[in-house]
Structure 1
Amino acid sequence: MEANTLLSQLQLKKPIFLAGMAGGVTTPQLVASVCNEGGFGQIGAGYMTPESLARDIDEIRTLTEKPFGVNLFIPEHPEVKQEEIDQMNQILEPINEKLDCNSVNEVRIDDIFDQMIEVVINKDVEVVSFTFGKPTQELVQRLHKHHITVVGTGTNIDEVRELESVGVDAIVLQGCEAGGHSGSFEQSLPKERLTLDELFKEVYSKVSVPLIVAGGITTPEQAKDYIEQGATAVQLGTAFLTTVESGTPDVHKSLILKAKSDDIIFTNTFSGRYANGIKNEFIDYVGQFKDKVCAYPIQNILTQPLRGKAKKAQNPDFMSLWCGTHPEGARDETVAELMQRY
């Protein structure tokens, strides 16, 4: 697909994508507002149910007539070992006691991926993007039959080539500066973490599909620079986290607005997958037991109750405070104000 074709198909006045951030950040109001201001909104559906995704799609349809997308995680099914679960629960016990929270003693990994795909198809969503791996060629072809644009996420040249081989229409190039989870195919800590600049320079001349660049872009100047270099669009995450319309808890927004690059750490302590976030007590404590952290999504399931309790209490010590490595450009503003700046 040609870059201009993609932008025209998505009715974009500005080459700005909202990152598909999971966990309640991408509210219908946020997604629709980005679309209405000329950008491209996406639902971060990684932790949603088919029912909640369908409801959000329906609500967004009442708020905008523009195309929007859904971001899904490629499912992962690591072996569930009770001994490892028991070890991590022992480590988490002091935090659970402090928050008056029950531990998760039995882990079951639900696979609702196919159901989520059915919702996307039945609701005529225009774009589906994938993170944590590549969709199968058969799935890409199926989505294409329903006139759905398919976007993959790559963090190195090998992943990008694999995505191109299965026929995706565009690729999000995610540099190591990106807030939240790395979209890498692998859960392990990468030997080499490429900055967006390094990744773009390595990949740009070697692929034929449109490239959407992501990672640490929090100023209009950065966005303009990548577009001038040949990127089709830029994808913003942290910049949208602090907007009025986002579902980010107020305490999280406040900490992003105060954060500096030195406050950000790359950690797998919350979910088992590595992610950039603001350092806090949870990361410092569980980080002492790196070799005991369970694989994703097992670790994510074990920490979910305490994260939920902390979020409800607006207690930042035990929340996953996802944030990119360049938070200084984030502002307390509406989506309209952000998009006007860009």
Structure 2
Amino acid sequence: MFSRAYQAHHDRQLALWLLCCAVVIYGMILLGGVTRLTESGLSMVEWRPIMGIWPPIGEAAWQEVFAKYQRFPEYQKINQGMGLDEFKVIFMYEYLHRVLGRLIGLLFVIPLLFFALRGVIRPGLMPRLLLLLLLGGCQGLLGWYMVKSGLVDRPSVSQYRLTAHLGLAVALYAAIVWQFLNLWPRAALPLKSPAAHSMKGLAKWSPVLLLLVYLMILSGGLVAGTDAGYAYPTWPNMGPGFIPPGLYEGTPQWLAAFEDVTTIQFNHRIFAYLLVMIVGGFGLRLLLQNADGFLRLAGAAVIAALLLQVTLGISTLLTRMAIPVAAGHQAGAILLLTVLLFTVHTLRRRQGLIPSDS
């Protein structure tokens, strides 16, 4: 049996490894958003898990992959007449996205084997790490399943598969961050101040905030997958008024929430307003009504991340989805989720709702 100090030392090593994985996955999500914004995702029409790590080398190789691309709907219906130099640009976005995915796999598997062989992984943790590994593998398969939907008869991927691909990536990222927080040395024990009892209820329902932000990110995936942001690039109104004409039209009406661009964008906006009130209220509660300085700082961070994301969201509309701004909006969503993960975990830890040996 390891001593407490010995186990804490290796917990820190495991935590730093997971943090590195999370940072790279954050970059992967951002690069995936840029790939979507530049319409580069369908430039690679083959999935070669091993050999695909090598890019085309030489003019003949580039001509070969370009000729394959020309046989599919995106080139025939949208990019007819595109030159090889233009193709190279969109190809490299998708190529880098796929290669980074493979590197993430190696970044996870090799240290996991190292720690496992050394026998320093605390009891009960290995099943969680293996589950994360399984989710990572599923993410790769889901990515190709998404791409395949745009290689048949329409020059775009299914918004359902794109949203699922994004959702699994974000879920994997959040799970790794949460496990990092479980392993990192506990800087704060449960509060013993008079404010401790008043924060108990807030700590109990705080995970709901994580779910709401996650659902908001999925809503953003539907917006991206249908290009719904282009329908009404204005704010606060959509067309002639706050509520646009044509909401929930079609049969069945509920399907409009997933396929009608007006309804999808409207729902995304309303969800955002709801989150501003709920998440903003949570941040203010920590900032103004808590006696603990660290949680006050966390509340301020939540409010700052929320305001940044709102600003980026509005700017994305007003700039007609300018790539740097839209990419920043996606990065801001993950930043907000990250700040909430740290805040919720800390709040629940200090209220004794997360065991010290989790």
**What's the TM-score bracket when you normalise by the shorter of the two chains?**
under 0.3
Q: Where is the strand percentage greater, Structure 1 or Structure 2?
A: 1
Query: In terms of Rg, which structure is larger?
Result: 2
Q: What is the TM-score with the length of structure 2 in the denominator?
A: 0.24
Report the structure, 1 or 2, having the larger helix content: 2
